[in-house]
Structure 1
Amino acid sequence: MSPSEAFNAGAAFARLASEVQNVEQLQRQLHAEPRVSGNEDDTLARLMNELPDSFQRETLTGNIGILRLGRPGVSVAIRAEMDALPIVEQTGLPWAASNGAMHACGHDVHMAALVAVARTLALTVPLPVPLVGILQPREEVGESGAHDVVRSGVLAAQQVGAVVGAHLQPALDSLAYSCTPGPVNAAADEFKLVITGRPAHGAYPHHASDALLAASAFVVSCQQIVARNTDPTMSAVLTVGTIHAGGSPNAIPEEATVTGTIRTMMEPQRQMIHTRLRQVASGVATAHDCTVRLEIRRGEPILENDAELAVGIGRHLGAQGYEVLEFRSYGSDDFAFYASAARAVMIFTGMPAASGNLHASTFAPDERAVGRVATAMLTGYLVSAQVLAGGGTMQAANPSGIEKPGRRK
């Protein structure tokens, strides 16, 4: 009998329902005491203390926590992000944060869910494959914690064969799940354009090379890159977020700065937009007798779900009676760095739309969100373990006590 066949998934889900109740207070404490990116050290210490003694613990530079349960060999990792956003909370919850930061993206829920899953698996043996927990800092900023985890070599050291992530998603307001194969989150790059011209009095424009006018032409031309260079069935997003120039209404400024973001779902498309952006910048500058400097910072890569894992997880969730929908977003997540280094799957977990939008000061997950995320994580672990172990059967189970979503009408 293989390890995956010996493992009782039904017992694991039944135990998970109890552990979810046990971490309710933890989730509220994490929510009330958020830490912004780079300052997660006490959050990491709290989470480490919440885990059973059977877990091996390792702390890496930069507030990265690595946990391991089980024998040596190929493992499945589950990621939970620890950082909060610099947002003043306005939810009115009794456990609302009051330190100028906020878990406005559900990371408190993700952390509590991982603790519930870890406690469950520590009490449900034998494991089909070892579990590795990744307590990750800095998901919300450009200095990506996931990138640092991958770069550290710890995935190879822990023999991680698959990585599972779960994220709350209010767009799935029927409380459905989604683990669509292939690209599910966009690459997120940023650009900064600085155009330099020749300043002049506003009454004498013929004496100037107008950097602000050139920047305005650049902003308009940017929108044509997507409109006229991408297949409309495989779209992209190019957004200008800021434009800064000048300091007086009657003076033509010497310099103008434009910044924005590029979101793409395919690498060739990503490269094409970078190239066209440089061409547009150069052409606009030449046409307006200005000079230009364009910087493009590559951010998170495209997040592509492993097809075998995604299909297997979707089937198992469906067999448990959950609604499973196809969903993709031009948002980004540094979980994509794990997907570039190992087999990986991101499971989007529905929540009521009334809970608010991600990154909003009023974002307030419902009381059963931890259970739904924990169900996604445990299902992801079990299906990944089955695949890595080379097959075997896994009992479909109804996780007693954990809310099932309603059907979309």
Structure 2
Amino acid sequence: MGVVRDGGAVWRELVSALEEELPGAVELRRALHATPEPGGAEVRTSALLADELPVAARSLDGTTNLVARVGARGPGVLVRAELDGVELAERTGVPYAATGGRMHACGHDVHCAALVALARAAHRLRHRLPAPLLAVFQASEERTPSGAEVVLRDAELKDDVRAAVGVHVHPGIPWGHLGADPGAVNAATYGFEITVEGSAGHGAYPHTTRDPVLALAQIVVALHTLTGRRVDPVHPAALSVCALSAGAGDNVIPDRASALGTLRTLHEDDHLPMREAVRTTVAQVAAAHGCTGTVRAHRDEPALVNDPALTGALRDAARAAGVPLAAPWRSCGGDDFARYGTSWPALMVFVGLLDAPGFAPAPLHSPVFLPPDEAVREVARAQALGYLAAAETPNPRTGQAP
């Protein structure tokens, strides 16, 4: 299975070819890091990647989403990397740091460069590959609408994919280790906007107003108590209100206040009840202050569920390749890769950064988050392992043999 089939010859050849591609991939990573683009507008990023691929890439529905097929015809293994950056001013201080209030603070630059290296290495072995490699460079992972929706709508891919693989760096997993566990490994995500409508007036005469700022402040406090009282304590869940907006003067009570937040649940049974709890809390706390409160959803992704057969194959392949596996690991992070699992057997693998050489500990989406160049190699090898494991695993939905 995986890297042990045929004595592991394909794995060894693929790793050897990857090593030769890594210097160019590191340079590509730095170029991508220096020029992050927002979701849905990754024009330069997409063009830069297309120029580095060993085969012509196809744009999906005229968007920045790209797919490149390496190998023969027939159902292949889709391996995804993300194109977009995050709205965040970089503070890493490296010579290739981005400017302009946007950065690759989630490792997407590393993922893309690694996938180019894998595509180039696989192209050298194209006549010996166990299945075609479908390298997908997906737009707008961080934004709505999700680029995953474009990928899933593509008619050509619909019947051309036997399994989907994603790889993501993570600072909470030890360096050199892979995290791959069956079942839900990332949470269902519900991004929401709260609007509180009141009645404006002078700050000196609050009794003549219906203060939406006070109402919103109480709503924020109330929301942050929900997971502790509405969710089973052994079920992971998180709710965070992350942005507030109201008024413009120190003596004017505005007529409107708003907030942005996110709800994360790992257990399917918790998701809809918690969404409803957010809605009723906002409405009722606002009403207690003489205001009206509404909630609008602007992002709603399912939980990211790793297919058990693919996960077992990857874990076997990692052991055969001498790659250590991390302790069982899940998080309330979210990823639109979860949508791929609604159409195909899917597997997300996490690559550890904890104690990596030269890596200053920092969480994802931090202005100082900077994986070392060596992470390109680790991600590329993880992508290769995931690809081979999926290529040599019978499709659990169709029974199709490798």
Query: Normalized against structure 1, the TM-score is what?
Result: 0.86
CA deviation digits over 1:185-221, x for unaligned, max 9? 1222222222223445555544443433332332222
SS in 1 for 2:387: helix
Which residue of 365, 368, 381 maps to 1:362? 368
- Say whether the 8 Å CA contact 1:175–1:350 is kept in structure 2: yes
In the alignment, which residue of structure 1 is the partner of 2:222?
Answer: 221
Partner of 2:333: 331
Which of 143, 158, 166 lines up with 1:156 in the alignment? 158
Alignment match, 1:237: 238
* Structure 1 residue 120, shift from structure 2 partner: 1.6
Distance 2:46 2:260 in 1: 34
Name the residue aligned to 1:181: 182
Q: Give the corresponding residue for 1:35.
A: 37
- Report the CA distance shift for 1:90/1:336 in structure 2 as closer, same or farther (over 3 A): same
> 3-state SS of the aligned residue for 2:336?
coil
CA separation in 1, counterparts of 2:218 and 2:36? 42
Question: Which position in structure 1 is the counterpart of 2:134?
Answer: 132
- In 1, the alpha carbon distance for the partners of 2:232 and 2:47 equals 48
Residues in 1 aligned to 2:101 and 2:298: alpha-carbon distance in whole angstroms = 29
Instruction: Give 3-state SS (helix, strand or coil) of 2:239's partner.
Output: strand
The one-letter amino acid paired with 1:378 is A
Shift in Å, 1:86: 3.7
1:110-141 CA distance string (max 9 Å, x none): 11211111122112232111111101122222
Query: CA contact under 8 A between 1:33 and 1:99: conserved in structure 2?
Result: no
What residue in structure 2 maps to residue 77 of structure 1?
78
- CA–CA distance in structure 1, aligned partners of residues 57 and 254 of structure 2: 56
Name the structure 1 match of 2:16. Answer: 14
Hey, what's the Cα distance between the residues in 1 that align with 2:50 and 2:165?
19
Question: Identity rate of aligned residues, in percent?
Answer: 37
CA deviation vs aligned residue, 1:153-209 (integer Å, no higher than 9, x gap)? 34315x101111111111113331101111111222222222223445555544443
Superposition RMSD in Å: 2.6
Judged with a 3 Å threshold, the aligned counterparts in structure 2 of structure 1 residues 130 and 216 are, in CA distance, closer, same or farther, namely same
The secondary structure found in structure 1 opposite 2:371 is coil
Structure 2 Cα separation of the partners of residues 263 and 341 of structure 1: 22
249 and 160 in structure 1: CA distance in 2 versus 1, 3 angstrom threshold? same
Equivalent residue runs for 1:104-119 within 5 Å = 104-119=105-120
Measured in 1, the distance between the counterparts of 2:218 and 2:100 equals 42
Query: C-alpha separation between the residues in 2 aligned to 1:308 and 1:58?
Result: 30
Aligned equivalent of 2:263: 262
Does residue 143 of structure 1 match 2:145? yes
Counterpart AA for 2:372: D
Give distance in 1, aligned partners of 2:93 and 2:291: 51
1:286 aligned partner: 287
Structure 1 pair 113–245 and aligned structure 2 pair: CA distance change class (3 A): closer
Residue 309 of structure 1, CA deviation: 0.8
Q: How far off its partner does 1:371 sit?
A: 0.9
